Structure 1
Amino acid sequence: MDGSDTASPIDTGTTVDTVLLDVDGTLVDSTYLHALAWMRAFAAHDLVPSWWRVHRTVGMGGDLLVGEVCGDDVEERLGDTLRTEWADRYRELLPEVRPLPGVRELVDRLTGRGLTVALASSGAAEFTDAALDVLGLSRDAFAAVTSAEDVDNSKPEPDILATALRRAGGRAPVVIGDTVWDIESARRLRAECVAVRTGGFGEAELLDAGAAMVVDSVEVLAQRGWAP
């Protein structure tokens, strides 16, 4: 299903009480800036992976990304250094991060329907807070806010989602994310995932990965009154 279709409730077989939101590429338009930061970090060490490969790994944890893109030998030699340099490069790009439309409207609608809403990002806490500033929202707008520092295993493992769900006091979640990593993480949590295309993944591959529904953006969900 794409943005031209009607966004409808998901039949999960149980009563959903919590919506877990990814951040980068879902709520803020930052995916390609993350890719640029990684490319600059790699280039500083004469590593030249293809852009498409870096883009497609944005959304999995940084602890996994280096090995996925450049191999285990590079991870072993330079993994921590590259992650530090990526963070430095991304900080330089933060002024270019933009909010994606419809976020506040969707959060207000979901909470107004009595649903618990939490953030479950695989990014660093400082960058999650920066995204909230861009959105004009505070942590208080959500029942829980989690990030990479809160767990040992990042996406596609379900730990971040499970931690957000537990801290929010929820039991039956639906996930909204933009990558195949979000979908896999939700699957491992035994939750459905609504996928948005704002992270650059195509509708077919998101559906093939197991998305319950694909729309162009969270704005579509907000405009059409979506609720699980």
Structure 2
Amino acid sequence: MNIVFDLDGTLIDSAPDIQAVSEIILGQLGKEALTIEETRSFVGEGAKVLVSRMMAARGIEETPESHARIYGDFVAQYEYAVEKAVFYPGVVDALAVLKAAGHRMGLCTNKPELPARAVIRHMGLEPTFDAVVAAGMIDSRKPEPDMLLKAVEDMGGGATLYVGDSEIDAETARRADIPFALYTEGYRKSPIAAMPHDWSFDHFDRLQGIVIEAVARQTAAE
């Protein structure tokens, strides 16, 4: 089976790195850094949306020119902001078990490609993934289904489970018509019951069991 993962809020908590970047960028503008709570609430729809939310939160007027300037500065710093990211509990073991079991693994993230690849490299995840689709690699982003479907295509097609943490991920899976496992301890803002999902889990030691159920469901449907 293909297993495609979201990145921020699903495999890693990258909010401390993003907060550190906001401190640099906003400090240059004489503004306070984002709080960690603000940072987590702004993540999920890509860096351009995050910058818009950051500007609004600090009363910075957004014009096409001001956004482009701040976004450019943000991404330049963001590519190297990897030192504070941490895995969620159980992620490393779960990925190793699933890889050893022969599942194909992919990544589908709204994080821009350069920062995404930088943190994947920093966290030692490069050998794990058979496909990586990040923002900017195609002319679409989640919750449109194209990025997820591209990841599946790059993995050779076939039965797929998508694993994510947010409303954006849930909607992406729905639009792609792909079963969805919701990690409940990430950056979601809505109640679990309000988000479409096939499974939910609060620790990665449960993911192997979910994958077994997903395979059995797919087999029964064939």
TM-score scaled by structure 1? 0.74
Once the two structures are superposed, the pairs formed by residues 73-112 of structure 1 within 5 Å of their partners are: 74=62, 76-91=64-79, 93-112=81-100
Out of 28, 37, 51, the residue aligned to residue 21 of structure 2 is 37
Specify the alignment match of 2:129 in structure 1.
142
CA distance in 2, matches of 1:42, 1:156: 28
1:184 aligned to 2:168?
Answer: no
90 and 62 in structure 1: CA distance in 2 versus 1, 3 angstrom threshold: closer
- TM-fit CA distance, 1:191: 1.5
- TM-fit CA distance, 1:46: 6.3
Specify the alignment match of 1:21 in structure 2.
5
**Matched-pair contact (CA < 8 Å) for 1:29–1:198:** no
Out of 211, 218, 222, the residue aligned to residue 197 of structure 2 is 211
- TM-fit CA distance, 1:170: 1.8
Out of 30, 33, 40, the residue aligned to residue 55 of structure 1 is 40
- TM-fit CA distance, 1:163: 1.3
- Number of residues of Structure 1 aligned to a counterpart in Structure 2: 209
**Matched-pair contact (CA < 8 Å) for 1:196–1:214:** yes
**Matched-pair contact (CA < 8 Å) for 2:99–2:128:** no
- TM-fit CA distance, 1:44: 4.3
Specify the alignment match of 1:168 in structure 2.
155
**Matched-pair contact (CA < 8 Å) for 1:39–1:54:** no
Specify the alignment match of 2:219 in structure 1.
none
- TM-fit CA distance, 1:182: 1.1
Specify the alignment match of 1:157 in structure 2.
144
Residue by residue over 1:87-135, the C-alpha shift from the partner in whole angstroms, topping out at 9 and shown as x without a partner, is: 2443564211122333333223333444321111211223222332343
1:123 aligned to 2:111?
Answer: yes
CA distance in 2, matches of 1:120, 1:152: 14
Stretch deviating more after TM superposition (120-129 or 99-108): 99-108
What letter matches 1:180 in structure 2?
A: E
Residue by residue over 1:128-161, the C-alpha shift from the partner in whole angstroms, topping out at 9 and shown as x without a partner, is: 22332343232x4322112112111212222221
Superposition CA RMSD, Å: 3.0
Gaps in structure 2 of 5+ consecutive residues: 215-222
Higher relative contact order (CA 8 A, sep 6+): 1
What letter matches 2:2 in structure 1?
A: T
Specify the alignment match of 1:10 in structure 2.
none
Gaps in structure 1 of 5+ consecutive residues: 1-16
Once the two structures are superposed, the pairs formed by residues 191-202 of structure 1 within 5 Å of their partners are: 191-201=178-188
What letter matches 1:23 in structure 2?
A: L
**Matched-pair contact (CA < 8 Å) for 1:144–1:168:** yes
TM-score scaled by structure 2? 0.76
- TM-fit CA distance, 1:35: 4.5
Stretch deviating more after TM superposition (48-57 or 204-213): 48-57
CA distance in 2, matches of 1:47, 1:169: 47
